[in-house]
Structure 1
């Protein structure tokens, strides 16, 4: 049975090893890493999936902001990465981690979440859309259809995403 616990209960080296295994050693070159910068994940929104004492999945959420062209700095939460050990994939662990993190965000009243991901999956199961992200810019390449957000606080404004 999979147990979900705060990511802070897991050794950081184990989390990094899982992320390397799930996404490859070059994962730090991805645009998402540039968006969130060198800050720390939000502890109350970052979780580990543990099965029989083994780390099988993680989700992390990050404080970021949209620096709008009008001069405002709008805080957002970047959801992800969601990582599942390859041999555990397709078992619902990733979806359960997303649900757990989104419920925690909702409980805190956070209503401006974004991620880079598959719109068919994240739209269908979690309500993320690209409806308000079309004028956002990122510090690296991204397929704009994969730049998704959810929540009443998501700005429909032009601007650059970056660390909070």
Structure 2
């Protein structure tokens, strides 16, 4: 039976191996890694899927912020990576992880992710409507920078790490 557990209950090394398998060892070069540099995943919003002691998948959520060009700082939560072992992809496990994270984040700040707009829009309500003028610390395909939630900032600014955050923020 597959169990959804807090990510802190599984070995960090097992999560790192999973991420390497799912995204490759060069994954640290991606813009999403720059967005969360110097932060720690939010424990209450990060989960793993475990079956018979094996980690099948994980989702992590990170404290980030948009420093608006108008001087307003907007706390946000970066969702991802969502990783599933390659041999179990297409079984709905990623969706199960997203649903767990979204339920846990329901009362928190708006969410942002870099991902497929058709998938994340259709199933989870993410879109790029407010993110067109956001600047990131690396390249991104603009249509893949997605957000959702009440209060998504709709203006220009720099998206980057938020060094301090409570589990709910």
Give matches, 1:18-29, under 5 Å: 18-29=18-29
Q: Which runs of 4+ in 1 moved over 6 A?
A: none
- Of the three residues 130, 145, 150, the one matched with 1:147 is 145
Q: How high is the TM-score relative to the length of structure 1?
A: 0.97
Q: 1:152 Cα deviation (Å)?
A: 1.1
2: CA distance, partners of 1:112 / 1:50: 28
Q: Which runs of 5+ in 2 are unaligned?
A: 163-169
Say which SS state the counterpart of residue 25 (structure 2) adopts. Answer: coil
Residue deviations 1:28-81 (CA, integer Å, cap 9, x gap): 000000011121000000000001221000000000000111111110000000
CA RMSD of aligned residues (A): 0.7
1: CA distance, partners of 2:90 / 2:51: 15
Number of residue pairs matched by the alignment? 162
Give matches, 1:28-43, under 5 Å: 28-43=28-43
2: CA distance, partners of 1:156 / 1:131: 8
Could you tell me whether the CA contact under 8 Å between 1:111 and 1:150 is conserved in 2? Answer: no
Q: 1:110 Cα deviation (Å)?
A: 1.3
Q: 1:111 Cα deviation (Å)?
A: 4.0
> What is residue 132 of structure 1 aligned with on the other side?
130
1: CA distance, partners of 2:154 / 2:46: 26
> What is residue 50 of structure 2 aligned with on the other side?
50
Could you tell me whether the CA contact under 8 Å between 1:45 and 1:60 is conserved in 2? Answer: yes
Give matches, 1:4-153, under 5 Å: 4-106=4-106, 109-153=107-151
Residue deviations 1:94-125 (CA, integer Å, cap 9, x gap): 0000000000001xx11400000000000000
Q: Which runs of 5+ in 1 are unaligned?
A: none
Q: How high is the TM-score relative to the length of structure 2?
A: 0.94
Say which SS state the counterpart of residue 26 (structure 1) adopts. Answer: helix
